[in-house]
Structure 1
Amino acid sequence: MNDYYNPPAYHQSDSAMPSSNNMSINDGVSLNNDFAAPLTTQQKFNEDDYEVHGVKEPDDNPYRFDADSKLNRLSNNLHLKRVFSWLDPKFFHERAWFSWTSPHSYQLPGHYYRSASGGRLNVYRHRDVFRRKYAGLNDDRYLNPLDGRVEKLCVQTVNELYDADNETTWRRTYIENVSPWLIRLAYWPYSHMPVPSSSSDLTYGLRGSSSTGIGAWEQEQWLHVGLRWLPTCIGLLVLMIFPTDVQGQVRNNGNYDPVPYRYWSYPLCARNFRENKGQTPNPGPFGTANDSRLSERCLRPRLLCFLDRVTESNPRGCLDPQVWIDEHGGCVEPTYIFISYTAENQFERRCADARKDVQSTGSSYCNCLQCRDAASDADALHRIAREAAKSANVAAYWTDQCCMSTDKVELQEDVYRISDVVRGAAKIVIVVGRTGQDRLPPSVTTLDLLREWGTRMWTWPEVLLGPAGEKIQVYTRGGDARAPLEISKMEFPAQVWDDGDVARQLIDNYEGSLALSRLELVVLALECLKRRVERGTTKYLEGDLSYALMGLLRQRPKVSQTDSAFQAFARLSLANDSDRLLERMICLLPLEDSDDSRSSGQHYNHATSDNGQYGTRTVDDESRKRHYWTNLDDCWGAKLWDIEPSCQVAGIGKDDTVILDGAYGATIHWDKFQRVAITTRETWSRMLARYFVRGTPAWFFTGVLTVALSTNNPTGKAIGALFLIVALVTILLSPMLILHIYGGKVWNTQPWLFGFEGHMSLRKIETKIFGFPSDRLSWAPYASNMSHHRVNSEFLDDECEGIDPLLAGENEGGGAQTVSTTGEKLRLFTLVDTNTMTVTTFRAARPPTVALLCGSEGGMQRAVMCSYDWTNQCLWRETVLRMETAALQKMPRIGRVRFGLRRWELELGRSFLQPPD
């Protein structure tokens, strides 16, 4: 064990790790402890003026520095824990480490984030709000509201968890009683009294009729109080000799502790174009018609297949429509039909190499057997298309087989502007069939093939955007081209799609029989596209789902191949007036995805791929992982339009994050409780009790001196005896009087947000904070997905009362399940809000250190609980709670923060550091 106390190279023992804010770097430390850079690690950071520990060897366990301290060396040499464990078993716990700063006793985590990659250590940098710098290995930290530094995260934990192995990535400490010793000692005789049946029975023997009063005491309780009463009175007399501050301090002008955060970096894409990296202060005007950030609309197709232009050299009749217009006088636009089909099992299933060539170069000249067989499918498709065009009496038809550019850049533009082609078509024609088969098997019907076609993500908007009121014709390969199946848009939700309840609302909107709001349109369309893409679809770009949705909206940001699925959606949301969609999404607490969508689509799983010539096939699990943000099912059943945001998304950040501005923020304290300043009403009884208690030492010693000095003076002895009697009576009643002075109803408090891991009863929580339970705290009735409430009819007929979630049937392994933002196990945490005097139990993957109030819903504020990743200066959503609106008055606003919906699980290492003794 002494090996863990060898100081690392260039590291002074007992040096304190400081704090700071921003990006990650590769430090260049190799596995053989040779430095790749010319400077040593310590010299390098000293030159950059960074406060950082040097590294002896490329061991990426950041907790090694905790072990290397003089205090722990001294504890090891003197065997302090073995000697004093009887005095305080928690402080001198066998797995405890010691520190000069609070908390003074804690346990190291059992796991740590791996910071080594490729034989090198990744050292991360951080700059805090006061521009102080910090660099080090990755570990759990938080922003300290007292000095703005990024400090080690230490979480107070209930005894059951503290005594168990620490399998987390954060430090743990035990829950201290922070109340004054005066109040603790006064409550000591009552500490084993009967638990009241209701909160109104907390009288501590002042009322005989109470269930906890004298009338409820049994002989055991009388004996218990009697044995403790006299020692308590003597102890209180001694404590009253030395005046102490019993009340807590009012801080921050009576507000919550702020979040000392400032974002220093550029956004990936700012809402205001002037804020982007590399932009000049005045690059030029950007209006609605000349915004270079948006994609231009396609006024007419790039190419069309004209019926009268089919020749041996041009068997498809492909021609630029402008040429045809010029030939016809320049005033007549060609009418055309839109040919829709699916390549999956139906037409032109090219080989993988050919599809890759199309994706990279825009064309393919592969002549393999599969591609040669696909040629017959193309001939059949165009033959049917020409028949459909003649029947519709139009000049041309459009199909993506030959009416898009072969240039790589132009091809990408054409793919994501097909919606403009659909809008300009005179009719929508769907062609279905089986690959390589001119006759369908008897067991396969046109409707079966149409349902396969309907599972494509890209075919869904083609139906919506087709001409209103026009029936869609369905031609079948090998069928009668003179009698195609005609189906109206209204029939698609019931006969073709399996999400008809949602899709029908969108059909009604585009047919003009129902008017959806902008927000409703995006939400419903997103739900339909999500179902199709999750069944497995051909991926061309990461943001395909958003680019399919883009066809339904007015403003279209330019397609970026580097965007993730979330970034593409965020760009689309910022470009359009979507009623602050992103801001509303942030406030949701998504439910865990059910398997309903998977099971409902199993019938079509063999045909759920898109046109194979544009991308590669993905799997369902990968798609769900990429599109986690599409889960809009809220734990409380709220819809996006039920939420009123109070913040704004100012930009898009890296790694699926946004830049959030204007939210109300407060820091959550996890290391320990603090004494809470409270205001109670001054009554005559409380004022007299305070007067007698505070004057007891003076009266007692005055009486003793007066009696001692008045040996021959009966009057003096009588006066001294009177002082002694008053003092002795007050001393004997002091436990009851002190609890009466510091009890009563709370009129005002200093707002704090306290957190701890695990669960405790309200009585225990009040005892830890205030010294004794006095009906101050209550369970929040509807603050978290674990909250429970019931009707209390003892006084009012329908009074709403919050109850303990664990007593109501919740347990650490059950309850409402939510999506873990990290992919890790959800743990049980408890939040104490001293502003509203409520307690909330919730589950999260890690303890959130910041509460952001981002919007309101149902008369409550949506509090997004975030953990802080100091390595990239990002706040990650862990869970969402509901807080009372009164919290807004005591919570300051916070500037721009980098915010993410999901914190992905990082690679963990096992820490085997064990304290000595």
Structure 2
Amino acid sequence: MNQVSTTTDRKQPQCYSSQLKPSYHGTTLRYTSSSSGKCKRLTVQSVNPSLTSDWKECDVRSNAPRSTRLAGRLTRMMFNPSSETFLWLFVWLFYIVALLFPSREPAFAAYYKPYLMRFVGQLWAARSPREYSLRARAAGEDDGHVRRVTHALYPRFLIVFDEDKKVWTKVNVEAAVKRKPYVAVTYCYEDVINSGSMETLIERVRNATLDQGFDAYWLDHECLFKDTVQKAQDLYRMSDVYRLASFTLIMLTNESAWPAWGSRVWTLPEALLSRELRYKAGNNTVTPISLIQIASLAYSHHDEESQIINSYGLGKDPLERLERNLQLKEAMWRRENFQGRYRAEKVYALMGFFEHRILPDAEETELQALARLFMANDNDRIADRMISMFPRDRRGINQWYTKEDEYGAKLWDIEPAAQVIGITSNGSLVLDGCRAATIRWKNFPSVSFATRRSIRRLLALAVPYVAFFFFVTGCAMISVGNQNASTSANTYGPSPGTSPQVAGGGVMLAFSLILLIFAPVCTSYGHSGRVVLARPWLIGVRGVISAQKASDYLYGSQIGDSRRTLYTPSGSPLARPREGDSMFREGDVSQYEVALAAPPFDPIEGHMFTLVDTISGTIYYFRAHKPPTVCLFTGSEGGQGRFVLASEECSGSELRRETVLRMPSFISTSMHTCDWVALGGKP
């Protein structure tokens, strides 16, 4: 039975290529080949390979020229004798063969390996009305004839007192000839239910309204539709209800009910958007109150919300719009939500502060609604900036929304380089205009590079081939001398001594062997020196390797102190800048020691990885739960680029953010612009 089930599962495609061709494979970690665009099983080189990983692991491997690698090993054995020195002769023979039959020179390219996959699914919600949207389709909005709700709206219904009949009636305001002044009412549902009933609240509201000289009020319990579609229209215009009211009346059962009222989701927009505030506690009279007074009575996070309150209440300490909207969002998320309502009700309460609003949807999540709200208000490009943030709380690494940045940057510090054009059903943001590059994990590639050449290095590289010439010439001279000696002996008898040709050939042969013995040192020296240009590559390793080791894997061993790979001063959370008497901006070697001493796996932050960039010659240490196979350039901040490293989930053609690095912005020009990519969402 299990065998039949497995066979059936294998017939189902696990993913689709960018050409919509199905692919059948297992559940192991995958990546998109940068040469064929096909989905392949990921192989990761590791300092300590493990058989229990979710991906295939192998030893760290170098593809530097074989002669260079062997020369470095021979040189190290000559100057640092060890237990393997007795293998020197065998290694030397392989080195000679490698010189005679060199490997093919790697080709040079100006760009990193491209990311060939694209998001092939349907958008759940789209920025452009011309794009197909699953949400709009389900709501019947894709025909272009849906009535759009605009700003400056009155509430659809009011409770109005009929002076002649002495009764309160529900009136359709939109049908009224004259707009009536009214009182908007706010209250805490739990406070009302625990201390009385809704009927008691309504009676108190009506008496207070008449006492204040008004004959109309708005109370959600009486004026909101129960139907989901109609209720969405009411929530859309909720902020206008309080903006247009003559004043907002806060109803409390007693003075101790302020904290309960202040903890509600809607109390912040109801208070901040009102023209005037008054409150009634128990049987006390209606009393005017200011935002500053309310803050000290009702809000438990007064220290964090004081800037918002000062901005709205006194008009002092004005906040930039981007900062204000983010603070409002965080203040809203600290409040309680009613049970049984919209899952994204906090977003609908927040949208009253934005210029453009969204129609509520009972099926969407908070992050989906928040993405729609941010896309509708693109002036600040909040979502575009947010994707470059590195969550301080690693448990939210897969979510695109980030409260605090690990590098301490504010949202307005980031200049976005990509645009959010939609959101998927999983909650991933779909990006357009990203520059992307793939990360190589199976080994270190053969890198085409150029060093700072000198006459001495050119001569050192020529030494082995000069030795070969002398060796061949010496052998030829000995052979010719012996042949001449044999002919002379047959004609004139044996010669009394060695011929000059044989003697000269022997000297030349001995000289060539001496040169060949020291040829590894010459080869290592000839390939040494500062790397001035290298083909763009991003190479990953599971575990921690030093900058010197990375250089050896990339270019082969060298002689001298030329630094080919440097530590980053600020590119990752583990980066450490060199301080003290250093005159230059560079990373300190202590970060390697810290990374090496850190546990190889952390339950929250994941495994330890190393990333090497050949253009900037920089090495980065970071933690992630999966090896990231794609590097996305999403923005810049503080003189550095923000690069999101993501793993691939081919079943949904989406990317999962693993970490964010600060790398030099200029390397983004060596990345190809890719098609749509979906980033974030549920793991």
TM-score by length of 2: 0.88
Q: Is 1:343 the counterpart of 2:201 in the alignment?
A: no
Is the contact made by 2:386 and 2:402 (CA closer than 8 Å) also made in structure 1?
A: no
Tell me which amino acid in the other structure corresponds to 2:641.
Answer: Q
Is the contact made by 2:14 and 2:24 (CA closer than 8 Å) also made in structure 1?
A: yes
Q: Is 1:727 the counterpart of 2:529 in the alignment?
A: no
Task: Supply the distance in 1 between the matched residues of 2:479 and 2:519 (Cα, whole angstroms).
Answer: 25
Query: Alignment partner for residue 451 of structure 1, among 243, 255, 259?
Result: 259
Tell me which amino acid in the other structure corresponds to 1:801.
Answer: G
Aligned to 2:551: 766
Distance 1:577 1:516, change over 3 A: farther
Give 1:775 deviation, angstroms: 3.1
Distance 1:903 1:631, change over 3 A: same
Aligned to 1:576: 377
Tell me which amino acid in the other structure corresponds to 1:490.
Answer: I
Q: Is 1:395 the counterpart of 2:215 in the alignment?
A: yes
Query: Alignment partner for residue 157 of structure 2, among 281, 296, 303?
Result: 303
Q: Is 1:490 the counterpart of 2:292 in the alignment?
A: yes
Tell me which amino acid in the other structure corresponds to 2:309.
Answer: I
Aligned to 1:410: 230
Task: Supply the distance in 2 between the matched residues of 1:691 and 1:58 (Cα, whole angstroms).
Answer: 65
Task: Supply the distance in 2 between the matched residues of 1:474 and 1:761 (Cα, whole angstroms).
Answer: 66
Distance 1:805 1:528, change over 3 A: same
Residue deviations 1:691-721, cap 9 Å, x none? 2222322321221111221245955446535
Give 1:493 deviation, angstroms: 3.1
Residue deviations 1:344-399, cap 9 Å, x none? 1x1146xxxxxxxxxxxxxxxxxxxxxxxx9x522332333234323432232221
Is the contact made by 1:526 and 1:630 (CA closer than 8 Å) also made in structure 2?
A: no
Aligned to 2:525: 740
Residue deviations 1:83-130, cap 9 Å, x none? xxxxxxxxxxxxxxxxxxxxxxxxxxxxxxxxx9xxx77823433235
Query: Alignment partner for residue 124 of structure 1, among 9, 13, 36?
Result: 13
Is the contact made by 1:336 and 1:396 (CA closer than 8 Å) also made in structure 2?
A: yes
Give 1:765 deviation, angstroms: 2.9
Is the contact made by 1:645 and 1:856 (CA closer than 8 Å) also made in structure 2?
A: yes
Task: Supply the distance in 2 between the matched residues of 1:742 and 1:403 (Cα, whole angstroms).
Answer: 81
Residue deviations 1:283-322, cap 9 Å, x none? xx99xxx99485344622222222445968x5x4433335
Aligned to 2:284: 480
Aligned to 2:565: 777
Give 1:406 deviation, angstroms: 4.4
Task: Supply the distance in 1 between the matched residues of 2:82 and 2:675 (Cα, whole angstroms).
Answer: 59
Task: Supply the distance in 2 between the matched residues of 1:242 and 1:262 (Cα, whole angstroms).
Answer: 42
Q: Is 1:269 the counterpart of 2:71 in the alignment?
A: no
Give 1:869 deviation, angstroms: 0.9
Q: Give the count of matched residue pairs.
A: 660
Residue deviations 1:491-541, cap 9 Å, x none? 3334421222442322343354344333223211111111114xx643511
Task: Supply the distance in 2 between the matched residues of 1:559 and 1:660 (Cα, whole angstroms).
Answer: 24
Is the contact made by 1:867 and 1:878 (CA closer than 8 Å) also made in structure 2?
A: yes
Aligned to 1:249: 107
The correspondence of residues 155-170 of structure 1 with structure 2, limited to 5 A, is 155-159=44-48, 162=49, 164-166=50-52, 168-170=53-55
Tell me which amino acid in the other structure corresponds to 2:293.
Answer: E
Aligned to 2:431: 660
Is the contact made by 1:154 and 1:170 (CA closer than 8 Å) also made in structure 2?
A: yes
Q: Is 1:240 the counterpart of 2:112 in the alignment?
A: no
Task: Supply the distance in 1 between the matched residues of 2:208 and 2:397 (Cα, whole angstroms).
Answer: 39
Query: Alignment partner for residue 609 of structure 2, among 818, 829, 836?
Result: 829
Residue deviations 1:144-171, cap 9 Å, x none? 0011111011111112xx2x541x3212
Task: Supply the distance in 2 between the matched residues of 1:133 and 1:809 (Cα, whole angstroms).
Answer: 41
Task: Supply the distance in 2 between the matched residues of 1:857 and 1:891 (Cα, whole angstroms).
Answer: 18
The correspondence of residues 631-780 of structure 1 with structure 2, limited to 5 A, is 631-711=402-482, 716-717=501-502, 720-721=505-506, 723-772=508-557, 775-780=563-568
SS at match of 1:827: strand
Tell me which amino acid in the other structure corresponds to 2:564.
Answer: R
Distance 1:425 1:690, change over 3 A: same
Task: Supply the distance in 2 between the matched residues of 1:627 and 1:129 (Cα, whole angstroms).
Answer: 23
Aligned to 1:75: none
Distance 1:426 1:634, change over 3 A: same
Structure 2 residue ranges without an equivalent (≥5): 486-497
Is the contact made by 2:631 and 2:645 (CA closer than 8 Å) also made in structure 1?
A: yes
TM-score by length of 1: 0.67
Task: Supply the distance in 1 between the matched residues of 2:455 and 2:304 (Cα, whole angstroms).
Answer: 66
Give 1:567 deviation, angstroms: 1.2
Residue deviations 1:646-695, cap 9 Å, x none? 11112222210122111110001111111111101221111111222223
Tell me which amino acid in the other structure corresponds to 2:248.
Answer: I
Q: Is 1:802 the counterpart of 2:654 in the alignment?
A: no
Is the contact made by 2:391 and 2:397 (CA closer than 8 Å) also made in structure 1?
A: no
Is the contact made by 1:269 and 1:652 (CA closer than 8 Å) also made in structure 2?
A: yes
Task: Supply the distance in 1 between the matched residues of 2:146 and 2:375 (Cα, whole angstroms).
Answer: 15
Distance 1:499 1:708, change over 3 A: same
Q: Is 1:259 the counterpart of 2:115 in the alignment?
A: yes
Distance 1:293 1:156, change over 3 A: farther
Distance 1:628 1:755, change over 3 A: closer
SS at match of 1:588: coil
Tell me which amino acid in the other structure corresponds to 1:476.
Answer: A
Query: Alignment partner for residue 875 of structure 1, among 655, 658, 670?
Result: 655
Aligned to 1:589: 390
Residue deviations 1:237-260, cap 9 Å, x none? 343333333x5332xx32110001
Give 1:466 deviation, angstroms: 0.5
SS at match of 1:532: coil
Distance 1:294 1:321, change over 3 A: closer
Structure 1 residue ranges without an equivalent (≥5): 1-31, 34-55, 61-115, 194-204, 206-220, 350-373, 434-439, 441-445, 594-623, 818-822, 905-917
Tell me which amino acid in the other structure corresponds to 1:588.
Answer: M
Task: Supply the distance in 1 between the matched residues of 2:467 and 2:634 (Cα, whole angstroms).
Answer: 52
Aligned to 1:851: 631
Distance 1:231 1:672, change over 3 A: closer
Distance 1:321 1:145, change over 3 A: closer
SS at match of 1:430: strand
Tell me which amino acid in the other structure corresponds to 2:546.
Answer: S
SS at match of 2:672: coil
Aligned to 2:22: 133
Is the contact made by 2:390 and 2:402 (CA closer than 8 Å) also made in structure 1?
A: no
Residue deviations 1:762-793, cap 9 Å, x none? 33333333332663212222111122223163
Is the contact made by 2:265 and 2:332 (CA closer than 8 Å) also made in structure 1?
A: yes
Distance 1:881 1:122, change over 3 A: farther
Is the contact made by 2:605 and 2:623 (CA closer than 8 Å) also made in structure 1?
A: no
Distance 1:884 1:629, change over 3 A: closer
Distance 1:552 1:235, change over 3 A: closer
Task: Supply the distance in 2 between the matched residues of 1:710 and 1:192 (Cα, whole angstroms).
Answer: 38
SS at match of 1:871: helix
Query: Alignment partner for residue 860 of structure 1, among 634, 640, 655?
Result: 640
Residue deviations 1:417-466, cap 9 Å, x none? 22111011111111111xxxxxx6xxxxx1x3112100001111101101
Give 1:415 deviation, angstroms: 3.5
Q: Is 1:419 the counterpart of 2:419 in the alignment?
A: no
Is the contact made by 2:441 and 2:540 (CA closer than 8 Å) also made in structure 1?
A: yes
Distance 1:709 1:310, change over 3 A: farther
SS at match of 1:261: coil
SS at match of 1:650: strand
Give 1:578 deviation, angstroms: 4.0
The correspondence of residues 883-894 of structure 1 with structure 2, limited to 5 A, is 883-894=663-674
Task: Supply the distance in 1 between the matched residues of 2:676 and 2:604 (Cα, whole angstroms).
Answer: 28
Give 1:799 deviation, angstroms: 4.7
Aligned to 2:170: 318
Report the aligned-residue RMSD.
3.3
Give 1:409 deviation, angstroms: 2.9
Task: Supply the distance in 1 between the matched residues of 2:573 and 2:609 (Cα, whole angstroms).
Answer: 12
Distance 1:727 1:322, change over 3 A: closer
